[in-house]
Amino acid sequence: MDIKTISSIPFSDQKPGTSGLRKTVKQFQVENYLENFVQSIFNSLEDFQNKTLVVGGDGRFYNREATQIIIKMAAANGFGRILVGRGGLLSTPAVSCIIRKQQAFGGIVLSASHNPGGPEGDFGIKYNIGNGGPAPESITNSIFAISQTINEYRIADVEDIDLDSLQTFNIGGTTIEVIDPVSDYADLMESIFDFDALRALFNNGVFKMKFDAMHAITGPYADEIFINRLGAPKDSIMNCVPLPDFGKGHPDPNLTYAHELVNIMMQDHGPDFGAASDGDGDRNMVLGSNFFVTPSDSLAVMAANATLVPGYAEGINGIARSMPTSQAADRVAEKLGLECYETPTGWKFFGNLLDADKITVCGEESFGTGSNHVREKDGLWAVLFWLNLIAVKNDSVENILVNHWRTYGRNYYSRHDYEEIPLQSGQAIIKRLTNYIDSNFLVGKTYHGNTIKITDNFSYQDPIDKSTSLQQGVRIIFEDDSRLVFRLSGTGTKGATLRIYLERFEPDGNNQHLDAQQALADLIDTAQDIADIKGITGRVTPTVIT
């Protein structure tokens, strides 16, 4: 094998965010930009020579080109075996599943998740470690540090390999196997859920489902699992062909961007169950007929009912949620006598807790839920979990939620996003709030009838490796324990996205039927006033409400 060593100069903007490096496609197409980052990943690793690397992505524009570059660089850097999904495709949870099953050294995921694709859209790259999960901050910090001084990268001087058929190739001493992207993952799902009960559900003559793959990666997985293995009618799934530009859609499964599915579900006599997943297949949205399940509630319902699913029949060890996620799961944990961990935003913070068996299920308000079966959040897993609950309980999504609230109380919850505001405006809002915290200015003040009890900026110490993460979100907590959380997104690529998380607990069964925006109206006004969003950004309404 001829190896070329190419001189390069560092790019100052290669700091991984909440989930890897996400930039515009155009940025990734700049000469040496991707190569520098990939070499920085390899330079941050030790003892990987002759070991296995898993590579795959969500099929967005530039996926194929990037896959070829990474294969050639991995071979030149001495990996012994590269497993790549056919077509360069692998969902994020499938990468995690394959790393674990094959005991690979690690994996590279190519995705910008829920961000739009196409030549004008976004691209991303993330390194996953041997447990199958995203690299922790110690590694991402080291990758960034290396990227700031890198001056060359290594790449095999060979032709592109054929990614479209299941074959094995050799580049020097490296074996490259093009693998079926779906089968290992589908087998894992079959080992967790009661596929007989699900087959019966789909064939009971009454139940109807609509799953929207949003022209992203889960299409082939949904086809294999729902149609081939579970015998669901073909019209149960939609938009299942992955496209490089996601059919010009925005593959973010929420009430705004999954509007096609939402319109189908929010009509009379629509399907009983609806769900969607995102660009790389790790997020999920769950809907009942005319009914939206918040991701926070979804986590709480899963935790409360886990023993109904064969894979969790023995019970769960504990629960974790990201800090801005509603505290609905905490109430379940308390009742079950389990620990509930509160982590910063980012799936990587669950890895240590899962590895140490401290928790079995975990989730985030950002449409992510998962368990110890892999080390990523998992969209189709969540959909199958809900289907399994519906099959066992023989009840509607809405009834399952209403009964859950009667037992545990309801955490009214919403997130308001102000997308693509100027970076300076986003920073000014956080600065303003941080100053308030530092001077204790807000404590004791009353806004729209709510008096502020505590203000702080969330910090976290990992209970396993004791690493600390500071300034993970501004919290404003009121006398009745309602709360507002403010933070800037770590996944956007244009300007800043301000996220405001709003939460209020309602124990009374007679008051649990309100629309969340109505129930939280005074907190919404309070957030506007305290942060002066209108004054600083000129915006009066969020871009996305979930």
Shorter beta-carbon distance to ligand G16: residue 153 or 349: 349
User: How far apart, in whole angstroms, are the C-alpha atoms of residue 177 and residue 168?
Assistant: 4
What would the two tokens of residue 297 be? 């509630």
In whole angstroms, what separates CA 275 from the centre of its chain?
15
177-185, 236-244, 361-369, 523-531 -> range binding ligand G16 (CB under 6 A): 361-369
* Smallest gap from residue 376 Cβ to ligand G16 (A): 8
- Regarding 375 and contact with ligand G16 (CB under 6 A), the answer is no
Q: Which of residues 13-32 bind ligand G16 (CB under 6 A)?
A: 18-19
Shorter beta-carbon distance to ligand G16: residue 36 or 489: 489
- For residue 113, indicate whether it is catalytic: yes
HSE-up of 519 (CA within 13 Å, CB side)?
18
- Regarding 369 and contact with ligand G16 (CB under 6 A), the answer is no
Do residues 312 and 302 touch, judged by C-beta distance below 8 A? no
Shorter beta-carbon distance to ligand G16: residue 115 or 289: 115
293-301, 363-371, 443-451, 522-530 -> range binding ligand G16 (CB under 6 A): 363-371
User: How far apart, in whole angstroms, are the C-alpha atoms of residue 423 and residue 425?
Assistant: 5
In whole angstroms, what separates CA 497 from the centre of its chain?
17
What does the per-residue mask of binding to ligand G16 show for 278-317, with x meaning CB under 6 A?
Answer: x---xx----------------------------------
Shorter beta-carbon distance to ligand G16: residue 158 or 498: 498
* Smallest gap from residue 216 Cβ to ligand G16 (A): 11
Tell me 80's DSSP state.
S
Of 79, 185, 246, 347, which lies in the binding site for ligand G16, with binding defined by CB under 6 A?
A: 347
Of 39, 40, 236, 366, which lies in the binding site for ligand G16, with binding defined by CB under 6 A?
A: 366
Q: Which of residues 149-208 bind ligand G16 (CB under 6 A)?
A: none
Q: Whose CA is closest to 12, among 144, 154, 124?
A: 144
* Smallest gap from residue 497 Cβ to ligand G16 (A): 7
User: How far apart, in whole angstroms, are the C-alpha atoms of residue 116 and residue 341?
Assistant: 32
- Regarding 491 and contact with ligand G16 (CB under 6 A), the answer is yes
User: How far apart, in whole angstroms, are the C-alpha atoms of residue 222 and residue 47?
Assistant: 37
Q: How many chain residues interact with ligand G16 (CB under 6 A)? A: 17
* Smallest gap from residue 324 Cβ to ligand G16 (A): 8
What would the two tokens of residue 516 be? 């969340």
* Smallest gap from residue 541 Cβ to ligand G16 (A): 19
HSE-up of 72 (CA within 13 Å, CB side)?
23
- Regarding 490 and contact with ligand G16 (CB under 6 A), the answer is yes
User: How far apart, in whole angstroms, are the C-alpha atoms of residue 95 and residue 84?
Assistant: 9
* Smallest gap from residue 395 Cβ to ligand G16 (A): 29
Shorter beta-carbon distance to ligand G16: residue 491 or 537: 491
- Regarding 325 and contact with ligand G16 (CB under 6 A), the answer is no
235-243, 328-336, 341-349, 396-404 -> range binding ligand G16 (CB under 6 A): 341-349
Of 39, 67, 113, 254, which lies in the binding site for ligand G16, with binding defined by CB under 6 A?
A: 113
Q: Whose CA is closest to 8, among 153, 155, 143?
A: 153
Shorter beta-carbon distance to ligand G16: residue 81 or 416: 416
| Annotated active-site residue in 40, 113, 289, 298 | 113
User: How far apart, in whole angstroms, are the C-alpha atoms of residue 488 and residue 361?
Assistant: 26
265-273, 344-352, 397-405, 528-536 -> range binding ligand G16 (CB under 6 A): 344-352
164-172, 275-283, 444-452, 455-463 -> range binding ligand G16 (CB under 6 A): 275-283
- Regarding 60 and contact with ligand G16 (CB under 6 A), the answer is no
User: How far apart, in whole angstroms, are the C-alpha atoms of residue 367 and residue 372?
Assistant: 17
Q: How far is CA 12 from CA 49, 144, 291, 441, in A?
A: 28, 9, 45, 37
- Regarding 542 and contact with ligand G16 (CB under 6 A), the answer is no
Shorter beta-carbon distance to ligand G16: residue 270 or 363: 363
Shorter beta-carbon distance to ligand G16: residue 72 or 358: 358
Shorter beta-carbon distance to ligand G16: residue 16 or 274: 16
- Regarding 326 and contact with ligand G16 (CB under 6 A), the answer is no
In whole angstroms, what separates CA 456 from the centre of its chain?
26
Do residues 300 and 329 touch, judged by C-beta distance below 8 A? yes
What string of DSSP letters covers 209-264?
Answer: EEEE-TTSTHHHHHIIIIIIIT---GGGEES-S--TTGGG-----STTTTHHHHHH
- Regarding 346 and contact with ligand G16 (CB under 6 A), the answer is yes
Residue with tokens 């002759």: 50
User: How far apart, in whole angstroms, are the C-alpha atoms of residue 380 and residue 261?
Assistant: 16
Q: How far is CA 50 from CA 41, 74, 105, 143, in A?
A: 16, 10, 10, 21
* Smallest gap from residue 386 Cβ to ligand G16 (A): 19
Contacts of 261 (CB under 8 A, 6+ apart): 210, 212, 238, 274, 275, 276, 285, 287
- Using CB under 6 A as the criterion, which residues of the chain lie in contact with ligand G16 when the complex forms? 18-19, 113-114, 278, 282-283, 345-347, 364, 366, 368, 489-491, 499
Q: Which residues are catalytic?
A: 113
